[in-house]
């Protein structure tokens, strides 16, 4: 029993698809890094990102945004999200309007899971 390997039709497009996917992924990574730098520096408030997420933040986990704030570590973000009953890996773009408003309100009040 001998098998002959053949290339399925259309396989030549695969490298181009991969390159396009890598370009898109890199674009998202760079945009998120810039967003997190702006949140860390105070140019953009995390509450504003939660209320009206830009395209790069829609698939970003909410804990990643929270930990980009000054003085916010993973434990503080975890406690805050537990208080809000929101999973740490919840994508910002999938949050309900009620969740967005509640998170933004607590962040603006300064009740962000601190001591």
pLDDT tens digit sequence for 37-90:
999 999 999 999 999 999 999 999 999 999 999 999 999 999 999 999 999 999
From residue 114, alpha-carbon distances to 3, 43, 78, 111 in Å are: 64, 21, 11, 7
Predicted local confidence at residue 6, as pLDDT? 56
- CA-to-CA distance for 36 and 64, rounded, in angstroms? 9
Q: Which residues contact 55 (CB under 8 A, 6 or more apart)?
A: 31
On whether the pTM is more than 0.85, the answer is: no
> pLDDT confidence of 9, banded at 50, 70, 90?
low
> pLDDT confidence of 4, banded at 50, 70, 90?
low
From residue 78, alpha-carbon distances to 8, 12, 25, 38, 105 in Å are: 47, 45, 26, 22, 17
- CA-to-CA distance for 44 and 35, rounded, in angstroms? 8
Q: Which residues contact 103 (CB under 8 A, 6 or more apart)?
A: 47, 50, 62, 84, 86, 95
**18-109 placed in CATH 1.10.490.10:** no
Predicted local confidence at residue 111, as pLDDT? 66
Q: How many CB atoms lie within 10 A of CB 91?
A: 15
- The tokens describing 40, both together, are 């860390």
């Amino acid at each position: 029993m001998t098998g002959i390997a053949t290339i399925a039709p259309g396989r030549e497009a695969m490298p181009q698809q991969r390159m396009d996917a890598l370009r898109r992924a890199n674009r998202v990574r760079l945009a998120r890094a810039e967003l997190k730098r702006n949140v860390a520096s105070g140019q953009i408030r995390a509450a504003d990102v939660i209320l009206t997420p830009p395209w790069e933040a829609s698939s970003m986990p909410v804990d990643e945004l929270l930990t980009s704030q000054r003085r916010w570590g993973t434990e503080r973000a975890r406690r805050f999200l537990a208080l809000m009953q929101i999973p740490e890996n919840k994508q910002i773009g999938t949050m309900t309007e009620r969740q967005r408003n509640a998170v933004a309100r607590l962040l603006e009040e300064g009740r962000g899971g601190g001591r």
